[in-house]
């Protein structure tokens, strides 16, 4: 094969693998395993010397790689300093498995338009799956192939990012505007799927996401104050309709607020248990604030406090603190917390910088990355799905895809196809 054909074949393959990753997110059993294998196969097939020579990393891409490596090193620190079993590295190591996809994207620059379509089609699949589970199977909380918490986060992230990416579509004619609005509505289906999961940690990010997307629309259409108000009203109506179709989600939010204001350390409700776990993590972190105490010591301290009667026995069922930030500061101290914050908030930082200084063409990609980052950064305040196998894969995969779409348009347009 010639040099050109190798590059072209790699571009087509990578575009297919990444699109497949987005398209089948949590929609069938083993979806992430299969999608990840396709990406891994790309390293073997197309990471040739010719491709490697085309890699030219920007400062932001180098930052992503550095933070991902530091994230894994923080777990190694926990193993070395606190004698935790090396199996703890199983989940974070998956970051390094997917990380070379960033290098391949940099060299091959897969077509952005196909990736944009994958978000729209994924939103439709998520909506169909959630409606099937909720209204046909009658499940209390839609959960797909993972669990309700992870499902809610990925559905809302894909839906919000998809709406932002729709802004890349032309709206010059009435036909174009109709297609644009239709695509936005299709992506709203994924957000509705996230609401059906009743994952409160992900749902609390929706108002902020709506604000970001409204700002994007104002920027795209140069809306007046009156038209901006109409957009806000329309979005509020859509949100009201979505919530009215799932009143149980409202009830869960209301219940969480009431339990938070009247916390009982002996209660066995979801919110009360979380508050207990956060308090235990804070107390544990205070004993070794710099490097933490490790997973085993955190679990040991939690068991001791439950046996003393300070907290409900229910806390013993959980190995984590149901808050990624609290769990990290207890296990790996401030060192681990700083690394985790960088890992979760770096897409927000990169996106915000692009929005502030970037061109009009960059705005949809920057807002897509911003929405994705906000979902995961906020959702991890009430759980720690980032440590689970599927959680780390879905986060790393979408981080690479959305950031690379932005980096491509910042440098030069992707090749056709």
The predicted pLDDT at position 1 comes to 44
The reported pLDDT for the residue numbered 261 is 58
Task: Please give the residue that has the higher pLDDT: either 270 or 70.
Answer: 70
How far is CA 168 from each of CA 17, 64, 326, rounded to the nearest angstrom?
A: 22, 25, 38
What confidence category does residue 358 fall into, taking pLDDT thresholds of 50, 70 and 90?
Answer: confident
pLDDT in tens, 223-264: 776 667 777 777 667 666 665 666 665 666 666 666 555 565
Residue 283 to residue 85: CA distance in whole angstroms? 23
Tell me, what's the pLDDT at 311?
85
329 has pLDDT over 90: yes
Classify residue 189: in a domain, yes or no: yes
Least confidently predicted of 240-249, 299-308, 347-356, 406-415: 240-249
Q: Is 88 inside a domain boundary?
A: yes
DSSP 235-291: HHHHHHHHHHTTHHHHHHHHHHHHHHHT--TT--SHHHHHHHHHHHHHHHHHHSTTT
Count of structural domains, the chain: 1
In a domain, 185, yes or no: yes
Q: What is the pTM of this model?
A: 0.90
Task: Classify residue 183: in a domain, yes or no.
Answer: yes
Cα 234 to chain centroid distance, Å, stands at: 26
Domain range spanning residue 162? 3-40+63-251+333-411
Helices (H), 93-205: 94-98, 100-108, 112-131, 148-166, 174-196, 200-203
pLDDT mean across residues, the chain? 87
Residue 206: alpha-carbon gap to chain centroid: 13
Predicted confidence band of residue 295 (pLDDT cuts 50, 70, 90)? very high
Q: Check residue 396 and give its pLDDT.
A: 93
By C-alpha distance, which of 361, 313, 99, 399 is closest to 216? Answer: 361
Whether 18 has a pLDDT exceeding 90, the answer reads yes
The pLDDT of residue 330 is above 90: yes
Q: What are phi and psi of 69, to 5 degrees?
A: -65, -45
Whether 30 shows a pLDDT value over 90: the answer reads no
The pLDDT-based confidence of 123 (bands split at 50, 70, 90) is very high
- What is residue 360's predicted lDDT score, i.e. its pLDDT? 86
Determine, yes or no, domain membership for 48.
Answer: no
Domain assignment present for 316: no
Query: Is 294 within the bounds of a domain?
Result: no
**Torsion angle of the four alpha carbons 193, 101, 378, 290, in this order, in degrees rounded to the nearest 10:** 150
Give yes or no for a contact between 198 and 249, defined as CB atoms under 8 angstroms apart. Answer: yes
The span from the CA of 161 to the CA of 179, in Å, is 17
Q: How far apart are the first and last CA of the chain?
A: 19
Q: Which tokens belong to 243?
A: 């919530």
8 A C-beta contact, residue 387 and residue 324? yes
State how far the alpha carbon of 91 is from the alpha carbons of 54, 214, 385, in Å: 31, 36, 11
| pLDDT given at position 241 | 66
Check residue 416 and give its pLDDT.
45
Decide if 241 is inside a domain.
yes
Distance CA 125, CA 187 (A): 10
Find out whether 316 and 44 touch, Cβ atoms under 8 Å.
Answer: no
143-157, 302-316, 339-353 — most confident range: 339-353
- At residue 373, the pLDDT reads 96
pLDDT digits (tens, 9 = 90+) for 165-216: 999 998 888 898 999 999 999 999 999 999 998 888 888 899 899 999 989 9
pLDDT at residue 260, rounded to an integer = 59
Q: What is the CA radius of gyration of the chain?
A: 22
Predicted pLDDT at 203: 85
Provide the token pair at 5. Answer: 């054909």
Percent of the chain with pLDDT over 70: 88
Check: CB of residue 214 under 8 Å from CB of residue 232: yes
Instruction: Give, in order, the Cα–Cα distances in Å from 154 to each of 20, 23, 37, 183.
Output: 15, 12, 19, 18
* Angle subtended at Cα 349 by Cα 348 and Cα 350, rounded to the nearest 5 degrees: 95
Q: Is the pLDDT of residue 63 over 60?
A: yes
């Amino acid at each position: 094969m010639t040099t050109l054909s190798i590059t072209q074949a790699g571009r087509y393959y990578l575009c297919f693998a990444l699109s497949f990753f987005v398209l089948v997110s949590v929609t069938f059993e083993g979806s992430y395993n299969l999608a990840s294998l396709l990406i891994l196969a790309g390293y073997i097939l197309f990471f040739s010397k010719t491709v490697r020579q085309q890699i030219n990393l920007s400062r932001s891409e180098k930052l992503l790689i550095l933070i991902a490596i530091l994230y894994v090193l923080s777990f190694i620190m926990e193993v070395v300093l606190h004698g935790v079993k090396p199996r703890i590295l199983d989940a974070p190591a998956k970051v390094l498995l997917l990380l070379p996809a960033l290098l391949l994207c940099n060299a091959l620059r897969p077509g952005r338009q196909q990736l944009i379509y994958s978000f729209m089609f994924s939103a439709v699949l998520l909506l169909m799956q959630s409606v099937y589970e909720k209204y046909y199977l009658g499940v209390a909380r839609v959960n797909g192939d993972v669990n309700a918490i992870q499902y809610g986060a990925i559905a809302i992230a894909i839906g919000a990012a998809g709406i932002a990416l729709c802004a890349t579509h032309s709206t010059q004619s009435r036909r174009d505007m109709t297609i644009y609005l239709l695509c936005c509505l299709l992506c709203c289906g994924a957000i509705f799927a996230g609401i059906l999961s009743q994952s409160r940690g992900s749902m609390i990010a929706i108002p902020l996401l709506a604000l970001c997307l409204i700002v994007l629309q104002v920027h795209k259409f140069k809306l007046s104050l009156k038209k901006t108000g109409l957009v806000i009203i329309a979005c509020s109506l859509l949100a009201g309709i979505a919530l009215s179709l799932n009143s149980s989600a409202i009830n869960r939010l209301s219940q969480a607020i009431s339990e938070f204001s009247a916390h009982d350390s002996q209660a066995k409700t979801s919110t009360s248990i979380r508050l207990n776990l956060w308090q235990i993590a804070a107390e544990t972190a205070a004993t070794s604030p710099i490097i933490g105490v490790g997973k085993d010591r955190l679990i040991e301290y939690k068991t001791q406090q439950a046996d003393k009667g300070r907290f409900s026995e229910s806390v013993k069922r959980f190995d984590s603190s149901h808050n990624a930030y609290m769990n990290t500061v207890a296990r790996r101290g401030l060192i681990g917390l700083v690394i985790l914050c960088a890992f979760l908030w770096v897409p927000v930082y990169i996106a915000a910088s692009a929005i502030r200084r970037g061109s009009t063409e960059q705005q949809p990609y920057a807002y897509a990355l911003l929405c994705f980052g906000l979902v995961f950064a906020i959702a991890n305040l009430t759980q720690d799905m980032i440590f689970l196998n599927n959680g780390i894969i879905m986060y790393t995969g979408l981080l690479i895809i959305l950031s690379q779409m932005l980096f491509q348009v910042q440098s030069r347009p992707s090749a056709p196809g």
